[in-house]
Structure 1
């Protein structure tokens, strides 16, 4: 979940994350312009709720097929079939698209195992707006990246003044759940999406050759070294961030700038970095 007010770069970050995961990308967008999401399949422009409903129904069928293949042939059979689904302003879909609730619940519970990854965007940080009120288990299935004033507001709710001041220092400063997260510069993310957008394969096509972009190459080795569920997904994501943004940096820079452990927490970050290296062989 990417949460931030208008103009904070939610769409650019979502596309950047999609290319980092790799595979094919589909976007649900009801208000986009022809210039948005170039090179990707976009469904729902002009508030075409019916098209989004049909698309999400197809996603549910696809998810079932993936799980069936996994059950019959194992995880290896799903290698190279990754897909990323981006939903712009997802809370609006909650009230307009009948299957959105089932779509969110099934992808939250089963998407990762089926190689189906969702990136949900919104200006709203309330659980009720996402249709998740009373469903804390589903909400906990998602990482939350908060940008701009939404990040600062969340830091205030944590009563962490040091974190609030850190967030104000730079637009690239954000939150990953309750932890500091330094994003790549906006220009770097934008340039990456523009390069990838011209070559990415259209989603849901029958082309057996999956695109392999630079970001995917950077992450594939670390990810494939341990595909079990024993290591927490949050630590796995931290390791991916280290692989992506820590190249050429000293350990101290990785701990403070990439992992966000500063001050008295520096020692904890150093210990975590060593554990991650032992786990993933980096």
Structure 2
């Protein structure tokens, strides 16, 4: 066997050296590539963190002023539910209404807002009310007077029959201007204490809207049995349920809709209308509506079901000393009556904000309206 010559060994050594050098160069390039990729990832993470810090920084007071509250830097994305109801009046048209929520959720404010917006005479069944509750409205049952509530509900049933008789004989047009809204505080308590409450609820659920009798029932309870509607799904379907606060959150959880649960937590004006997300007007807007429309309600003693046209004319009859050199609408007359009744000792700014209900950016619009009314009526 012939051994390789020194010259051949030198050639192999030279080739091996070149191969090692090329492999080393390739390994070095691979290492640089890995380092660059890691650097890019670190740079991207640093960029994202910086953007989050900028969001927090933008919320801090300018010039580095100290703050008492610590900002919780937790980025939580809350998806908006689709088809949010924003017009509660239009959404509840065609059905009666239940407002369900724990104490302090604004059930009474919503009830008044609905009642004043619908218009007409308003009656309230309230067994625990104070003298300052429901001012200006007909309140029945104060001091747990269950007998008075029973008499009132029997009268409601007779009134409902008369309305339906008028409608059957003369048509829907004969009922225009005869609207009434009946608000019942804690209706489930009446189920066991007022004998006629069951018939009252059933007949108003079936006939109330056609007879221009609208009910707003309030309660802290969401159970069907508490309302006396167990086994009466057809009656339950006649009502829209407005759920507030914890009652809304619990119902959203029962629907297994986490997006809806998180949306309800964002604002106190967020609620549920049956299973749909609903955004109510702000508390200020609802109170302004009650102040603006409250004095235009027909007084409790008026029988607008029997004499709708006469009572409507009385309600719109202007003050004798008013100046009518310029044409004015019925709405202008009603607003001026409100100002004369409630604004005698108020400043112009209080009249604009508290009586006419124009606040914030709309204040100047209310100021213009007040000047117009004074020009019309002197």
| TM-score tier after normalising by the smaller chain length | 0.7 to 0.9
CA distance in 2, matches of 1:70, 1:203: 23
Given that 1:39 and 1:199 are in contact with CA atoms closer than 8 Å, whether structure 2 keeps it comes out as: no
CA distance in 2, matches of 1:172, 1:20: 18
Q: Does 1:171 align with 2:268?
A: yes
CA distance in 2, matches of 1:186, 1:165: 21
Given that 2:119 and 2:297 are in contact with CA atoms closer than 8 Å, whether structure 1 keeps it comes out as: no
Q: Secondary structure at the match of 2:143?
A: coil
CA distance in 1, matches of 2:212, 2:295: 23
Instruction: Report 1:217-236 matches (<5 A).
Output: none
Q: Does 1:198 align with 2:295?
A: yes
Q: Does 1:108 align with 2:205?
A: yes
Q: Does 1:13 align with 2:110?
A: yes
CA distance in 2, matches of 1:199, 1:72: 30
Shift of residue 204, structure 1, vs aligned partner: 5.3
In the alignment, which of 160, 170, 174 is matched to residue 63 of structure 1?
160
TM-score calculated relative to the size of structure 2? 0.55
- Cα RMSD of the aligned pairs, angstroms, is 1.5
CA distance in 2, matches of 1:67, 1:198: 28
Q: Which residue of 1 aligns with 2:311?
A: 209
Given that 1:38 and 1:197 are in contact with CA atoms closer than 8 Å, whether structure 2 keeps it comes out as: no
Q: Does 1:146 align with 2:214?
A: no
CA distance in 1, matches of 2:106, 2:192: 25
Bigger RCO of structures 1 and 2 (CA < 8 A, at least 6 apart): 1
Deviations for 1:207-257, whole angstroms, at most 9, x for unmatched residues? 53346898xxxxxxxxxxxxxxxxxxxxxxxxxxxxxxxxxxxxxxxxxxx
Deviations for 1:51-109, whole angstroms, at most 9, x for unmatched residues? 00000000000000000001111111111111000000000011110000000000000
Given that 1:85 and 1:118 are in contact with CA atoms closer than 8 Å, whether structure 2 keeps it comes out as: yes
Structure 1 alignment gaps of length 5 or more: 215-282
Instruction: Report 1:57-96 matches (<5 A).
Output: 57-96=154-193
CA distance in 1, matches of 2:243, 2:202: 21
Deviations for 1:248-279, whole angstroms, at most 9, x for unmatched residues? xxxxxxxxxxxxxxxxxxxxxxxxxxxxxxxx
CA distance in 2, matches of 1:125, 1:159: 18
Q: Does 1:125 align with 2:222?
A: yes
Greater Rg by CA: 2
Given that 1:27 and 1:41 are in contact with CA atoms closer than 8 Å, whether structure 2 keeps it comes out as: yes
Shift of residue 112, structure 1, vs aligned partner: 0.6
Moved more, 203-212 or 114-123: 203-212
Given that 2:302 and 2:311 are in contact with CA atoms closer than 8 Å, whether structure 1 keeps it comes out as: no
TM-score calculated relative to the size of structure 1? 0.73
Cα gap change, 1:110 to 1:204, in 2 (>3 Å): farther
Moved more, 173-182 or 183-192: 183-192
Equivalent residue pairs, number? 214
In the alignment, which of 115, 123, 134 is matched to residue 37 of structure 1?
134
Given that 1:84 and 1:119 are in contact with CA atoms closer than 8 Å, whether structure 2 keeps it comes out as: yes
Shift of residue 197, structure 1, vs aligned partner: 2.6
Given that 1:3 and 1:122 are in contact with CA atoms closer than 8 Å, whether structure 2 keeps it comes out as: yes
Q: Which residue of 2 aligns with 1:243?
A: none
